Amino acid sequence: MTQTVEMPLWLLLLMLGLAAVAALDKIMMPSVRWYFRRRLEKAVAHLNTRLERPIQPFKLARRYDMIQRLIYDPQVSVAIAAHAKEMDVPENVAFEEARSYAREIVPSFSASAYFGFAIGAARFLSNALYRVRLSEYDEGVISKIDPDATVIFVMNHRSNMDYVLVTYLAAQQSALSYAVGEWARVWPLSRLIKAMGAYFIRRKSRNELYRKVLARYVRLATDAGVTQAVFPEGGLSLTGSLMPPKLGLLKYILDGFDPAGRDVVFVPVALNYDRVLEDQILNRAANDPENRFKARIGVVAGNTLKQILLRFVGRYHRFGYAAVSIGQPLSLAKFSKGKGENVTELLAQALIERIGTVVAVLPVPVVSTLILKNPSMNRAEIDRAFNDLIDDLPAANVRIPKHDKDMSIEYGLHQMTARGLIVESDGQYSANPEQVEILQFYANSIRHLMPESKGIDP
């Protein structure tokens, strides 16, 4: 026991290093993690005093623990066994597949990333790109909802800026958990999005095991009271119009809902823009037989660089107005009474109608509507037609201040002539024949609000 043992210096250093790592992992790291966890809990507790809807413990749970909870869920276990039998593979292989789905879906929410970075970035980006109008937002709408209810914002999907604007809108309410599509599964964007509490969904997946894992996560989050944000249309509108709702996520929310338990309250949110950043891309996708959204990262980076250069040379102008409007909340407990088996379809249609009712009327959609109806108009004719159309619309939808109506018309005309959507010659404005589809795209955003006599042909 007291004999001297010789060994190479490199081996001694390796053994000491391994011992240090083991001590760090077993003794020091748990204490460090506990210290930072305690600080996080105190910070979140302080933050919750300022939010109308506090961040739920479910959202703050460790990601590893949530993944384990999900893959050992009884319903997921049944789905694993069924998948293994269907695919003729061992259950442990199906189990690992379910684990990979859970890792893909479950976010790793960071309160510091969300409230320290995301909110500030959303506010800066929104105001840098648009003249933001949140005038219809009634702060009492959210505060009147049962504090024990799960709130789910349901929105029309016009642009990827929707995420930014709604995050800005809800900054004082709660941390939103978004359902995002596969476009966001790109490093490093995916890490940031997961840190802000979003969860990924494969919208076109036909894998029943994947669907069950996703359904159980949505159901667990809903039961825990997590504030969520979903797009019932299932994707970006390629035509600018409101699209028929898809039932996937809504069905997951409704499955297992107990009217006697925690209520679910849907808050309709309508978004509209004087300029949709992806309008040309969406228009091409609408005309593509495969309807694919072809937005390369190089195109996005190039456009961003162009806007930065314009700002440096003093020629940068914001992209017009962007408006966010809140509709009348809908209680699932009240709505589902007596609806029978068709409650999902009826709910989806009711939500789309409530969203459509409060879509904002903005200058570019109005001018697009007028220009499409009239081959050529001078400024006086545009002014009269603009005022007549606005007067015929429900006042709740109009986001154009009465005292700024002339300025709004001028602003819309400037935006559209600068982009080449319309052309001006000898005081007469007319549609650019090469941009008619883009004008239709913007006119479609308010088409459902038009009286029949004021509508435009599809």
CATH classification number, 363-454, choose in 3.30.200.20, 1.10.10.10, 2.40.40.20, 3.40.1080.10: 1.10.10.10
Give CA separation, 110 vs 12, 32, 195, 401, in Å.
40, 18, 5, 39
> With b meaning 16 or more CB within 10 Å and e meaning fewer, what string describes 80-94?
beebbeeeeeeeeeb
Q: Would you say residue 182 has pLDDT above 80?
A: no
Q: Would you say residue 257 has pLDDT above 60?
A: yes
Of residues 362, 367, 361, the one with CA closest to residue 319: 362
pLDDT in the model for residue 188: 55
Reading the block at residue 146, the tokens are 């049962």
57: Cα within 13 Å, side-chain hemisphere: 1
Q: Would you say residue 352 has pLDDT above 90?
A: yes
Q: Alpha carbon 167 to chain centroid distance?
A: 8
Mean pLDDT of 2-23: 71
Q: Would you call the peptide bond into 54 cis, given omega within 30 degrees of 0 as the criterion?
A: no
Confidence of residue 455 (pLDDT cuts 50, 70, 90): very low
Domain 104-277+319-357 fold is Glycerol-3-phosphate (1)-acyltransferase (3.40.1130)
d(CA 361, CA 380): 20
d(CA 171, CA 292): 33
Higher pLDDT, 200 or 263: 263
Of residues 430, 437, 268, 234, the one with CA closest to residue 360: 268
Using a pLDDT cut of 70, give the percent of the chain over it: 78
> With b meaning 16 or more CB within 10 Å and e meaning fewer, what string describes 419-444?
bebbeeeeeebebbeebeebbbbbbb
pLDDT tens-place string over residues 258-315: 888 899 999 999 999 999 988 888 888 888 756 555 555 455 555 556 665 666 666 6
Give CA separation, 215 vs 113, 209, 250, 337, in Å.
26, 10, 10, 23
d(CA 318, CA 189): 25
**Amino acid code (one letter) for 215:** A
Residue 177: phi and psi, rounded to 5, are -105, 105
378 beta partners: 428
> With b meaning 16 or more CB within 10 Å and e meaning fewer, what string describes 164-202?
bbbbbbbbebbbbbbbbbeebeeeeeeebbbbbbbbbbb
For β-strands 428-431 and 377-378, DSSP reports them as antiparallel
Q: Would you say residue 456 has pLDDT above 50?
A: no
Q: Alpha carbon 146 to chain centroid distance?
A: 24
Give the CA diameter of the chain.
105
Count of all residues that appear for the chain in the document: 458
pLDDT tens-place string over residues 393-430: 877 677 776 667 788 888 888 889 988 999 998 889 99
Q: Would you say residue 64 has pLDDT above 70?
A: yes
pLDDT in the model for residue 47: 52
